[in-house]
Amino acid sequence: MIFSTLSKAQNTPDDSLKVTKSSGALDAIVEYQARDSMRFDLVNQIVYLYDSATVKYQNIALYAHYIEIDFRNNTIMADGKKDSTGKYIQEAMFDEGSQQFAAKKLRYNYLTRKGKILEAATQQGDGYVLAEAAKKDSNNVMYIANGRYTTCDLNHPHFAIRARKLKIIPDDKIVTGPAYLEIADVPTPLAVPFGFFPNKKGRASGILIPAYGESPQLGFFLKDGGYYWGVNDNLDMAVRGDIYSKGSWGAKMFTNYRSRYHYNGNVAFRYSRIRTGDAELPTNVVRNDFFVNWVHIQDPKSNPSMTFSANVNAGSSSYNTFNAERPNDYLANTFQSNVAWSKNWKVGRLSANLRHSQNTVTRRVDMSLPQVAFTANRFYPFKNPNQRCRYVVP
């Protein structure tokens, strides 16, 4: 159904009839439906939709339990579903191009594309933004009051960065005022004067939110927090850190590299300083551990006559005792490495291998110096290349 206003006919100099559309007219059809019922107020030009209501206009789609469409003021009001106690059990869903969010209640002007939202939740990149109240302008920029930013996908997240004011610029960034880290609804002293979180699609640099928990030996911790840097399409880097309440800490660096049609690989370096026991007792022990991983794979098409590959796994024997990221890492007691290079010529093939083997139980490390081997192709030193075979017919 379309509600639009046309201006009165005007006489032009050539006495032709010219009809112009007013500024308040709609540019497309407003489609709406409801599962239960629809009620029309023709005097005030309002449509009431009940139960599983849907409204679509151009690239805008709205789904809610109850919707009011005011064609006179070009506004839509949507409300979620409540139970008998007045608690919301189903939210309204709003979709406009790349912007999607859920809200308990909202009012939206589909001509100016501005709106007000109550208790909204939206996904921005790999994170989620929760807001008590928000305003949306015609450029899809959202201004949020009392909001939280988190990477936890639960309706009530375990942790979040809370700020009184947030600004979301779609496919660009999220900016906050003074903010602090909140864990299990408990404020922490970790605060910043402002926050900046890129939310571009695809490759983007930004802050890596740490995970929290408790270790029986090392105390409370924040792990894997840091910064990710997307240098370009061929290189990226992530720097992460761990900190424990009993004085232990760790640092990690990860990078992936790639040259199309040539090679690709990744490098990881980990370092930790683990303190066990009380600092004032003789049982206090401090361990400095490290671990290195390097994987390099060459594309076979890059240089058919020469190949190079690497698979390096080496470090301190006690690193995985306190820093294992997976159960298999904790149980592993043997590490092996191999770096291989080879070159082919018409006369033969030259290859070199450097190997490493390490046992964390016996603390034995075996390294073999580069093993060089040359393999010659079959050749015939007394064969005359100009001689031709002759066949004699009996």
Q: Which band of pLDDT confidence, cut at 50, 70 and 90, is reported for residue 377?
A: confident
Classify residue 288: in a domain, yes or no.
yes
Q: How far is the first Cα of the chain from the last one, in angstroms, to the nearest whole number?
A: 100
Q: Render pLDDT for 1-14 as a digit per residue (tens, 0 to 9).
A: 333 333 333 333 33
Q: Render pLDDT for 110-126 as a digit per residue (tens, 0 to 9).
A: 888 899 998 888 888 77
DSSP result, 291-333: EEEEEEEE-TTT-TTEEEEEEEEEE-TTHHHHH-SSHHHHH--
Kindly report the backbone phi and psi dihedral angles of residue 34, in degrees, each rounded to the nearest multiple of 5, phi listed first: -150, 150
Classify residue 137: in a domain, yes or no.
no
Classify residue 380: in a domain, yes or no.
yes
Measure the CA–CA gap between 14 and 20, rounded to whole angstroms. 17
Classify residue 83: in a domain, yes or no.
no
What is the average pLDDT across 195-207?
74
Classify residue 351: in a domain, yes or no.
yes
Classify residue 121: in a domain, yes or no.
no
Q: Cα angle vertex 265, ends 288, 374, to 5°?
A: 100
Measure the CA–CA gap between 29 and 231, rounded to whole angstroms. 45
Classify residue 111: in a domain, yes or no.
no
295 near 311, Cβ under 8 Å? Answer: yes
Classify residue 359: in a domain, yes or no.
yes
**Cα–Cα nearest to 184, from 206, 154, 164, 208:** 154
Q: Render pLDDT for 208-249 as a digit per residue (tens, 0 to 9).
A: 888 888 888 888 899 999 999 988 889 999 999 999 988 899
**Domain span at 336:** 206-394
Q: What global pTM score does this model have?
A: 0.52
pLDDT over 90 percentage in the chain: 30
Number of domains in the chain: 1
